[in-house]
Structures are given as C-alpha cells and as structure tokens.
Amino acid sequence: MPAPVDFSRRRFVQAALVAPAVAAVPRAGHAQTYPTRPIRLVVGLPPGTGPDIVARLLTRWLGQRLGQSVMVENRPGAGTNVATESVVRAAPDGYTLLLSSMTNAINATLYPHLPFDFIRDIAPVAFVSDNPFVMLVTPSFPAKDVPEFIAYAKVNPGKVNMASGGNGSAPHVFGELFKLMAGVDLTHVPYRANLYPDLLAGQVQVAFTAIASALAFIRAGKLRVLAVTTTRPSALLPDVPPLRRFVPGYEASAWLGIGAPNGTPAAIVEQLNKDINASLSDPNNKARLTALGVEPAPMSPAAFGAFTDQETEKWAKVITSAHIKVE
C-alpha cells in the first residue's frame, strides 16, 4: 500500500519552485498583456445545471472586469473527469480554466486510475462558493429533529432508506459522513433519475440534497428539513440549524472554485483571483448567487489550495471507510 501523500508539503514545494520564476517576471507586463483573447471556462456538467448557471454568471462578471470575453465550454462525462483532463492538458497560459468542485476532491479516490492528479495538475485560482445541502425527511417520518432521527435510526438499524443521486455523488458521501459520525446504519438507495418522487411518497425516508432543488418542497410543507450541512445557517433557511450542532464536527458543502493548468504564471493567477474575488464581493452579484442557494466566499489561491488538500483527504477517508465504488 503506497504511503499517504503529504498534500501540504506538496503545495509548499510547488510554491517554492514557482516563486523564483515569478520574481523574474515583471507583474506590470502581465497586467498589460493578459488577456488578449477570449478565455474558456470548462464545466464538466451539462448546460442548465446549478454549477453551470453559477459559471455563466461568473464569466459575465469576470469578462466585464477583464475587458475580454470569458466563455463557458460544457464538457460533461465521467463524473466531470473529461472536463478536468482537458484542462490538465491545456496550455498553462491563463486562457483555459476549470470550474473545479467538491466532485474533483471525491473523484481523486473514487476513480483509482485517473490519468491526472487533481492536486498536482490543477493550480488553485479562486474559491467561488459554498453550496449548503439540507438533511430532509418525508413528513410521515416519526423524527422531528436530528436527535430524534439519530435515536430512531439506532433502534432501527438498516430500516431507514437514504436516497442519493448515485454512488459517490455529493448526496451519497454527505450521507455516509453523517452515518460515520452519528454512528447510525442507513440503507443507501442510489437513483439515476429524480429521487424526489420516492422521497415525497415515503418510499425512501431521508436524503441530503441541494437547497435550491428542495426549497419549494420545504416551503410547501411536503418535506421536512432537519438541518443544513454547512457550519452556518443558510441565508435561504436562516432558522434551520447546522447539522454540526447535533453531530459535532460535521461539515459538508458542494463547493465550487476556479482552477487552471499547473504551471500557469503566478501573476495571471493573482490577477484572476483579484478580479474573481471582486466580482463575488459586489453586493448585487452576491445577492444573485445567494438567491440560487450558493454562498460566495472569496479566498486567496493559497487558501483555496490548502482547502482542496483538506477536502481531498476528508472525502478519501469517507469513501474508503464506506467502501464506495463508482457505478
């Protein structure tokens, strides 16, 4: 069994190798010459999905700041791995970017033979947003809150069905993290199509889903929300408590970020980070994203790199412990 990789050390070594080259290049020169042509943001999901909508908003705002077109290129397939590999193989010149996500952190372990290493081959540019999920139950379920749910599940091991969007999906691993940390046995039921009809009908009893997709059901009283998965309440559901209040240390978010091919000049990464963060901090833009159920959270490239390292290690442990295999 190979020795565990020290991701923090890896980032440090990469930074040390890049720093001398950065120092030799005048920053003003990059500012004057980049960008001189349109930029591609590669998205590993089809048009109209939640991440694609966020990407299209961001490219519009970023293009206005850069004075150059930033276009979304959808390349779905293999759980976003097709898109990621295309960016890994692109020229590291700042004109091809990746909409990276929590899925990349999952895939690093879920797919054992990828032709790339996400941590090594994609340079962190900017964190875009947290995407809080909610823990939902059908209204007929006897538990009214998380402590009651845990108590019920412990005296009924394996009898509570947990729906997800498929093996290794965000709803699946969020639920598996809950199972591990709460010490409960839930039966995973993966869906290739919409899981909501069976959840509404009580065929499955619990699911971890994105707020945006569940909000109408919650407001109509058709589903009961027990908690949000992030450390803070969601702006869309301010009265719903974070799950970690009942399961200490629990945290999960289907986050989004921007990456670039490894070797992209640090001055370009810095410029993109500055303009993306400024776009996300604009009150109007921030309100638009919040209405979609995602929460902007600007970071430096270094902070985003450390975050992706932590996320990759975290989900590797969950996938290994739960014996999750790709479908």
DSSP string, 107-176: HHHHSTT-SS-HHHHEEEEEEEEE-BEEEEE-TTSS--SHHHHHHHHHHSTT-SEEEESSTTSHHHHHHH
Q: Give CA separation, 44 vs 4, 78, 295, 315, in Å.
A: 28, 9, 21, 20
- The total of other beta-carbon atoms located within 10 Å of residue 14's CB is 16
Q: Which residues of 60-96 are buried (b: 16+ CB within 10 A; e: fewer)?
A: ebbbebbeeebebebbeeebbbebbbbbbebebbbbb
Each residue of 15-53: pLDDT tens digit?
A: 333 333 333 333 333 445 899 999 999 999 999 999 999
Which amino acid type is present at position 29? G
- Assess whether pLDDT exceeds 70 at residue 79: yes
Q: What's the confidence (pLDDT) of residue 256?
A: 98
Which pLDDT belongs to residue 192?
Answer: 87
Per-residue confidence (pLDDT) for residue 327, from 0 to 100: 74
Neighbours of 134 (CB within 10 A): 27
Please tell me the distance from the alpha carbon of residue 15 to that of residue 5, in angstroms, as a whole number: 17
Overall residue count recorded for the chain in this entry = 327
Taking only the tens place, the pLDDT of each residue in 148-175 is 999 999 999 999 999 999 999 999 999 9
- Residue 318 vs residues 51, 85, 170: alpha-carbon distances, Å: 23, 24, 12
pLDDT bucket at 88, cuts 50 / 70 / 90:
very high
Q: What is the pLDDT of residues 178-190, one digit of tens each?
A: 999 999 999 999 9
| Span 214-234, average pLDDT | 96
Above 70 in pLDDT, residue 234? yes
Domains defined along the chain, listed by start: 7-131+253-321 (3.40.190.150), 133-245 (3.40.190.10)
In the numeric block, which tokens belong to residue 103? 């899925």
State the pLDDT at residue 129.
95
3-state secondary structure of 246: coil
pLDDT for 17 equals: 34
- pLDDT score at 193: 83
- Which candidate, 291, 162, 173, places its Cα nearest to that of 237? 291
pLDDT band at 5 (very low <50, low <70, confident <90, very high): very low
Angstrom distance (rounded) from CA 300 to CA 277: 9
